[in-house]
Amino acid sequence: MSKPAILTVDDDPGVSRAIARDLRRRYGDRFRVLRAPSGEEALEALREVKLRGEPLAVMIADYRMPAMNGVQFLEAAMDLFPLARRVLLTAYADTGAAIDAINVVDVDHYLLKPWSPPEEKLYPVLDMLLELWEAAPDPGAAETRIVGHRWSAPSFAVREFLARNLVPYRWIAADEPEGTQLLEAAGVTAADVPLVITADGKVLLAPTETELAERVGLRTSPAADFYDVAVIGAGPAGLGAAVYAASEGLRTVLVERSATGGQAGQSSRIENYLGFPDGVSGAQLTERARRQAARFGTEILSATEVVALEAAGAGRVLRFGGGASIGAHTVVLATGVSYRRLTGANLDSFAGAGVFYGSASFEAAGCRGDDVYIVGGANSAAQAAVFFSRYASRVHLLVRGADLTRSTSHYLIQQIEAVPTIEVHPYMEVAAGDGESHLQQLTLRDNRTGELTTVDSSWLFVFIGAEPQTQWLDGVVARDGRGFVLTGPDLPQAGSRSARWPLVRAPYHLETSVPGVFAAGDVRAESVKRVASAVGEGAMAITLVHRYLEAQ
């Protein structure tokens, strides 16, 4: 197979030769470096690469080119090579346009001219992007196929699980000829979907997440009976804890109920995380963290739910939903929070069939040309609005308060104001949903006047509230009235009716009412709900784990 290609596009012959030279010097042994003098000729070259079935890793396009500028080229090239990494080459005067391009066409990075010395200004960027490209699943490899109905909640659940775990799959509608043939071959009917055919030809009918995880190569059973630290939840806090624990030689297991990344993993783009000036998608950030944790030796369990925590002498026991259990010297609770469910009439019946909790970004292509409604007034909802505006005819952002200023970052408010197809509706709530096989209408209520309005839409994405799923800790770990885990100085004092601190020494800052059990990230009471703070608390928890172990 031919080497993967790196394509550069620049109408200035001197710049074109210079960047091609620098790229060949560093990457020529592993990649073919192609160059084109215009966007049109570059697209023609990409069509030939596509026809030959050759891979493309990175595209670097100059912003200022006649006829077709760099942004327009990258947008067109995405249709041919959607997984290739995209870089915009620009002069200092055009950095504003470059930053806008990051949001418009999902550019991965922009580079300023000149990029000398390349060892400092070019190669580190390309090294990172090539690492991300090489880590992405190969779409040409054997793939998992899903046969289901477009508006089926079980079919959506399978697609969401695979998408969030970065498992490549191909969706086939049950009423398409290929879908009908696969159903017949499996000996089932369209009423039995979803049908999953794994890359090795195994057939699964309406599988559970655990069954699906096992068949697509995710680990669901622990390899050992006892660990130094067990981390529950693979969001930013859990991943941070796992990376620091394993890198420091602790036997570490990371247990995740659904998919790596948590809510952060569903974010279309995180732009205020330290060290990523051009932003990074939640999936990219958390996948890099997952690979980092695994490289240090963390054992990662997917689709595995912890249903009970018990203190057993100097150890702690975790019991799983399937009946298995493991022990650990210490535990880090990093289970995060879930989006609150809407209470409007009929909305529950459309979950996964028009009503989606979280971004469900893989549904974006299906929204093309439609009106999309998003509920929420914080960063997650704002990021989703910007993302879906690339596909939808119009995005309606429903905000319970007067505007976005109370809980949305300023940079996101500016982005929303710059997109003419995004409309913010203040004081608005969803009162009800209606439809036959899927959501087709929404009833909106003005919470000032009570006035009701009915609109046609099959797309409602919900980003409201933060509910910790900590019911399984009842009677074991002290929590506040909303279910968030209490730690350190916030723990109940002696005489309290709640679970209280049992030792003479004071609890460590992130320690729960059970010694040796720590909480980090959004699940912790009074925590700062930001990715950076969650990662920091995960790292801090491991420092306290060491202190706890040394004192035993």
Query: Is residue 201 very low, low, confident or very high in pLDDT (cuts 50, 70, 90)?
Result: confident
- Token representation of residue 475: 């009677």
Extents of the domains making up the chain: 5-135, 144-215, 226-338+467-551, 347-462
What's the mean pLDDT in 521-546? 96
Which pLDDT does position 423 carry in this prediction? 97
* Three-state secondary structure call for residue 190: helix
- In tens, the pLDDT along 57-69 reads 999 999 989 889 9
Higher pLDDT: 129 or 53? It is: 129
Which pLDDT does position 138 carry in this prediction? 58
The model carries a pTM of 0.80
SS (H, E, C) 453-508: EEEECCCEEECCCCECCCHHHCCCCCECCCCCECCHHHCCCCCCCCCCCCCCCCCC
pLDDT over threshold 90, residue 358: no
CATH code of 144-215, in short, is 3.40.30.10
Which pLDDT does position 12 carry in this prediction? 93
CA distance 69 to 76: 11
Which pLDDT does position 142 carry in this prediction? 59
Query: Is residue 9 very low, low, confident or very high in pLDDT (cuts 50, 70, 90)?
Result: very high
CA distance 475 to 468: 16
pLDDT over threshold 60, residue 484: yes
94: CB partners within 8 A, 6+ apart: 63, 64
* Three-state secondary structure call for residue 431: strand
pLDDT over threshold 50, residue 495: no
Q: Which CATH superfamily is domain 5-135 in?
A: Response regulator (3.40.50.2300)
Higher pLDDT: 114 or 329? It is: 329
Amino acid letter for position 139: P
DSSP string, 191-248: GG--EEE-TTS-EEES--HHHHHHHTT---S-S-SEEEEEEE--SHHHHHHHHHHHHT
Higher pLDDT: 543 or 361? It is: 543
CA distance 291 to 288: 5
Q: Which of 3.50.50.60, 3.40.50.300, 3.40.640.10, 3.40.50.720 is the CATH number of 347-462?
A: 3.50.50.60
CA distance 111 to 122: 7
Going by DSSP bridges, is the β-strand pair 85-90/109-112 parallel, antiparallel, or unpaired?
A: parallel
Higher pLDDT: 311 or 96? It is: 311
Q: Which CATH architecture has domain 226-338+467-551?
A: 3-Layer(bba) Sandwich (3.50)
pLDDT over threshold 70, residue 73: yes
- In tens, the pLDDT along 431-455 reads 999 999 899 999 999 999 999 999 9
* Three-state secondary structure call for residue 366: helix
159 in the Ramachandran plot: left (φ > 0), alpha (ψ -120 to 50) or beta?
Answer: alpha
What's the mean pLDDT in 472-483? 94
| Highest averaged pLDDT of the listed ranges 77-91, 261-275, 378-392 | 378-392
Helix (H) or strand (E) holding 38: none
- Cα dihedral 296, 298, 299, 304 sign: negative
- Cα dihedral 375, 378, 383, 389 sign: positive
Nearest partner of 182 among 170, 195, 192, judged by Cα: 195
Which pLDDT does position 465 carry in this prediction? 80
pLDDT over threshold 90, residue 256: yes
Query: Is residue 403 very low, low, confident or very high in pLDDT (cuts 50, 70, 90)?
Result: very high
Which pLDDT does position 145 carry in this prediction? 92
Percent of all residues in the chain with a pLDDT value above 70, rounded to a whole number: 96
For the chain, the C-alpha Rg in angstroms (whole number) is: 25
CA distance 454 to 452: 7
Which pLDDT does position 140 carry in this prediction? 52
Place of tokens 């159903």: 183
Per the prediction, the chain carries an average pLDDT of 91
CA distance 478 to 468: 13
Higher pLDDT: 133 or 101? It is: 133
CA distance 253 to 225: 11
| Highest averaged pLDDT of the listed ranges 110-114, 147-151, 344-348, 394-398 | 394-398
CA distance 166 to 172: 18
